[in-house]
A = this chain, B = another copy of it.
Amino acid sequence: MNSKPYSIGIDIGGTNTVFGIVDRNGKVIAKNSIKTKGYPDFKSYLDVLHEALTKLIKEHDAEGKIVGIGIGAPGANYHTGEIVNAANLNWGENLPIAWLVSEKFGGLPVTVTNDANAATMGEMVYGAAKGMKDFMMITLGTGLGSGVVSNGKLVYGHDGLAGELGHVVVDKKGRSCGCGRKGCLETYCSSTGMVRTAKELLESSNEPSVLRNIDPEKITSKDVYDAAVKGDKLANEIFEFTGKMLGEALADFTAFSSPEAFILFGGLMKSGDLLLNPTKKAFENHLLFIYHDKPKILVSQLNEDDGAVLGASALAWESENN
């Protein structure tokens, strides 16, 4: 049993890379960030990351006390340790990031997965799903991300790319999705999905709404939230519809792995009961009878600012058991 007290979490976002030192209780001892883009190649980015992280480790007297590094990044594959389609970061087609980072950090174990799976691990190790063996994490942000835990293990699947529940089709004749298909869940249940719902409702009805004072091309999910808390009927309908689509989908997801709970995470959850209540209602109404009153719908307990780093760091603890 390794008894080093810290792990490193690195969350590689499209704009910033946030990294931190985390203890076994999920306390972020220290964190910092660098820009993700603007380097000639991955090597230059890694040089900057290495320098900044080494500085942080020294400042907090953590040298020799790190069990491993966990990295969350879009398109990262747990099995291969690669980022697939890293081209939009100018890092080539398939980047063997786990190997490169481990080499740079003197052979520390490095585990990678996509950002949604990392958040799921964070929830299991430090958050609302602590002690749960079967749960699903749903991240409601710009898109809809997800992670599935079954028998106490993250479901990575045969190719390492499992858990893309944002792309389950909930309406075959529904909205066009960026993936090229129609009716994917994330075209309804995400901040961009809510904005699409807003535009559709504003066009199809004559109902008065403060949202009509905003240029339809510039409406955000925050605008919808602000209107809804002020009692705007149309804004509330947008939340009702979003929650209905989400609750119905969660009911279907239950048939797969009969989770103890769904943990909802991400920017959209700042709306609290506005989204949660219609979600729970549709969920219970739509659930197969054998599952009634069983799976809980919970909101993440992870601090959203720290969530990504915590999730990535949670991966590193797993490496000491392998």
| Chain A residues engaging chain B, CB cutoff 8 angstroms | 84, 132-134, 148, 150-151, 153, 155-165, 167-169, 171-172, 179-181, 248, 251-253, 255-260, 286, 288-291, 294-295
Contact = CB atoms under 8 A, between A and B. Distances in A.
Nearest to A182: B286
Given A148-B257, A161-B258, A164-B255, 9 more contacts: A132-B158, A134-B162, A148-B150, A155-B257, A156-B258, A159-B294, A162-B255, A179-B289, A256-B257
Nearest to A151: B153
A259 B181 contact: no
Contacts of A248: 169, 172
Nearest to A184: B288
Contacts of A259: 157-158
A276 to B, nearest CB: 21
A162 B258 contact: yes
B158 A256 contact: no
Contact of A256 (B162, B181, B258): B162
Given A150-B150, A286-B169, A288-B179, A159 B258 contact: yes
Q: How many copies does the complex hold?
A: 2
B151 A290 contact: no
B288 A158 contact: no
A158 B179 contact: no
Majority SS of interface residues in chain A? loop
27 contacts: A134-B162, A148-B150, A148-B256, A150-B155, A150-B162, A151-B151, A151-B156, A153-B153, A155-B256, A157-B257, A157-B259, A158-B259, A158-B295, A161-B258, A161-B290, A162-B257, A163-B255, A164-B255, A164-B288, A165-B255, A167-B288, A169-B248, A169-B251, A169-B252, A179-B288, A180-B289, A181-B286
Contact of A158 (B158, B162, B260): B260
A181 B285 CA distance: 10
A179 to B, nearest CB: 6
Contacts of A151: 150-151, 153, 155-156
A176 to B, nearest CB: 14
Contacts of A84: 290
Central interface residue in A84, A158, A172, A258, by most chain B CB within 10 Å = A158
Nearest to A85: B290
Central interface residue in A167, A180, A248, A259, by most chain B CB within 10 Å = A167
Nearest to A160: B258
A108 to B, nearest CB: 25
